[in-house]
Structure 1
Amino acid sequence: MDLDRLSAELLRSLRGHRSQVQFSRWLGYRSNVAHTWEAGKRWPTASTVLSAAARVGIDVTAGLRRFYKVQPAFLDACDPTSPEGISLMLQDLKRDLPIVEIARRCGASRFQVGRWIRGESQPRLPDLLRLVEATSQRLLDFVAVLVDPATLPSARGPWARLEAARSLFWRMPHAQLVILALELEAYRSLPSHDDAWLAERLGLELWEVTGAMDRLEATGQIAREGPRYQAAEVRTVDTRRHPGAGASLKRWWAGVAMERIDAPGVSWSYNVVAVSHRDQQRIVELYRATFRRMRAIVAGSAPAEGLMLIQQILLPLDRAEPDLD
């Protein structure tokens, strides 16, 4: 996706019904900066964009909560539209991902990326989008904080495919396993596509693989390229708009873990403990940090040589449990 073009479309969407001159003056500028921005001649900084979004009535804080699915700590510390807020957000997204790796994914120097994350300078809008994608692989979800991706020409198709994939994955959970298997080096080495090979490799029934392949192809998540199929880039399953879907999906994957708990290579452990509420919260924070660190490792992992199910469960066992959301 051309992120310069996407940036121009996003800015145009924020402007709404106002003329470029009106929008520029409304934001406090004397010159027609909106024209300069939308023409790609000079991009606004990240805080300028988020401030403009807030000015037109978008609840940026609520949008970031939806993006994170929890309340990130930096939202309690500062205004997310401020330069400080941008820096803290980037630090939160970075987590344990090396700056060198982020720079490689963004196509920027490690020195520049370091300055952005430390708040010594601000990324311009296209660079902010590159940073978000490099650290989270959820670019369109971040765009959705500000505007509806379906209204942007560059994002409309990818967003529709992403939404279709998410809907498919919670309705047919094993389809997520099938699409990931298409990235395996072993699959790419096959002389041609073979449903039976996938079924044996994944421990699924042949009809499950065949059905998943049909639905994946029908929704545009895979396409045949030569003798095999190529998978689209979908990594997250958003169930917030489907009541009960999240719990259903978790039960399905927990069932997979139960069925295969004695299989070779399975690492499974548990602890039943009694701790203070304060330490329960510390455990929750460690849980979140660990999961984000694993996601960062996965984002940069290559080649695809094996599939894993990574599950983390924190389960209060009494009636005085703290909020673990």
Structure 2
Amino acid sequence: MTMIQALRSAMDVMMGRDPRVVVFGQDVGYFGGVFRVTEGLQKKYGSSRCFDAPISEGGIVGAAVGMAAYGLRPVVEIQFADYFYPASDQIVSEAARLRYRSAGDFTAPLTIRMPCGGGIYGGQTHSQSPEALFTHVCGLRTVMPSNPYDAKGLLIAAIECEDPVIFLEPKRLYNGPFDGHHDRPVVPWSQHAMGRVPEGHYTVPLEKAAVFRPGQALTVLTYGTMVWVAEAAARETGIDAEIIDLRSIWPLDLEAIVTSVKKTGRCVVVHEATRTSGFGAELAALVQEHCFYHLEAPIARVTGWDTPYPHAQEWNYFPGPDRVGRAMRQAMEG
């Protein structure tokens, strides 16, 4: 399966298993979503289970919070992650705090799906990676898969979770294989990356990172599209890098990070989002706090620019194997 097919399969499985699961958002019903992730769900389950919403992100998430509080399990789509800002008050002030404010009388088991990142020349209003903003909010879970198998398992786990989950979907990974470069032929997925996505129900645990590529020389901490960029950099430099795919960005699998960095003694953090106050800063701080006496070189960060997302220069904006490879070499020389 492609990631699109895997995500659709996850919603299909859950809608078939649990009548409380409803799917809605802009154009997700008859049209099947701007990326066709929800294609066919309205036809199969009817317009009361999968339906279109007005162009009102605050209204979409606000309605979902109410549905979740009263027993449903809504899965809503924000058409692009860049569009979540009008819904931020509902996400931060209502969904994230409902369990605490009600002393556990109410929960908000809703999933907010958002395509994120670059790759379609969408410019600054269709290409943002705002994951760090969500990790700052107590009560939210933030997830970003890097491959179809994880995408399906994580989405099912998110729908079954009693807490609100921000589910970020890298657009560059939607439609199939990716070798870390935009100007190279697509290469076959490795078995580890693609796996065989089961048709039925399974989950990938939230809060658990994966060792995407085992290694001994240095640790790369990353997630989403950048997993594949880091893998390409390791392959091209010949450095025996261990790549940790965080999968759940928050809550974080700190044990997996610490175990890897203490083993390798070197750490490179990679993400597509803006550098300043990006999630890489939190990762670097945690590594320094927990692994300082094991480090053989300074922690390196490879990120997007501290600028509005450039339309024509997006392939220079987000890290590629060359930039990641330079950071890896520098870490090895430290």
TM-score by length of 1: 0.32
TM-score by length of 2: 0.32
Higher helix share: 1
Larger Rg: 1 or 2? 1
